[in-house]
Amino acid sequence: MSRDVTLLLQHQLQEEVQMNRERHNGDWFGIVLKPLFFIYFAGLFISVPYFNWCYARDHGFASWLLLGEIVATAESTVWPYYALSGSSKPDWSDSERENLEHYHRSSDAIRQAVRIMNAGPRNGPSQLTPEESDAWIALKKIALNEARKVDLEVLAKAHPNLPSQFREKYLRSLELANPFQERDVPLSEQMAAQTLFDEWVDWFNANRANIHLPKRQ
């Protein structure tokens, strides 16, 4: 009889322990996870329009309409990463910001040259009008001149691999398609230049979140 009572008490004790565990698990969820979920979705509510606005500002409204909103919205879902990594952004001196203007002016010139090339159904510079060709060559000259003035050590503050990618892909692509040459650039060099430029764009887009360039003033 006493043995049965002991077994019964043990069984009741085990049930009570199990109930306490379940209750504590529920309390832990309510105390810890619910506030975290609230913070995350509140941040998401803010980050979705902000990331889309930044994408449209940096790439243009047309690019945003063409899958840009999908990219920006996907990036906004990991907003805690950007919030935490933002605290590790470098400080920039006035001289460094001034040097980075060469980088920005080169990028601006290339974007304008690309717009000229993409303005119509063209396969290369030979199909541009004389006015468009002059503008395209002038922009390529500006891009190359400005790129050569960029201090690679300054770029390293934005991302450790940015200097090598900039030099070996972006700058090299401009040099291969050198607009200062009087001779026609061979097709093989044009293709090599385009390949390097495409690789630069792919690398930059893939690492955009980790490239901490200061905003232009």
User: In this predicted model, what pLDDT tens digit does every residue of 21-73 receive, in sequence order?
Assistant: 655 555 555 566 777 777 877 777 788 888 788 777 766 677 667 767 787 78
Q: Is the pLDDT of residue 189 over 60?
A: yes
User: What digits encode the pLDDT tens for the residues 122-172?
Assistant: 555 557 788 888 888 899 999 999 999 999 999 999 999 999 999 999 999
Q: What is the pTM of this model?
A: 0.59
Residues 50, 131: one domain?
no
Residues 19, 108: one domain?
no
In 86-151, which residue ranges form alpha helices assigned H by DSSP?
Answer: 94-117, 130-148
Q: From 33, 51, 83, give the residue that closes a domain.
A: 83
Each residue of 19-41: b (16+ CB within 10 Å) or e? eeeeeeeeeeeeeeeeeeeeeee
* Domain membership flag for residue 217: no
* Domain membership flag for residue 135: yes
Q: Are 68 and 56 in contact (CB under 8 A)?
A: yes
* Domain membership flag for residue 215: no
Question: Domain count of the chain?
Answer: 2
Residues 122, 190: one domain?
yes
Q: From 83, 102, 136, give the residue that closes a domain.
A: 83
Side chain identity at residue 18, one-letter code: Q
pLDDT bucket at 117, cuts 50 / 70 / 90: confident
Q: Which domain holds residue 71?
A: 2-83
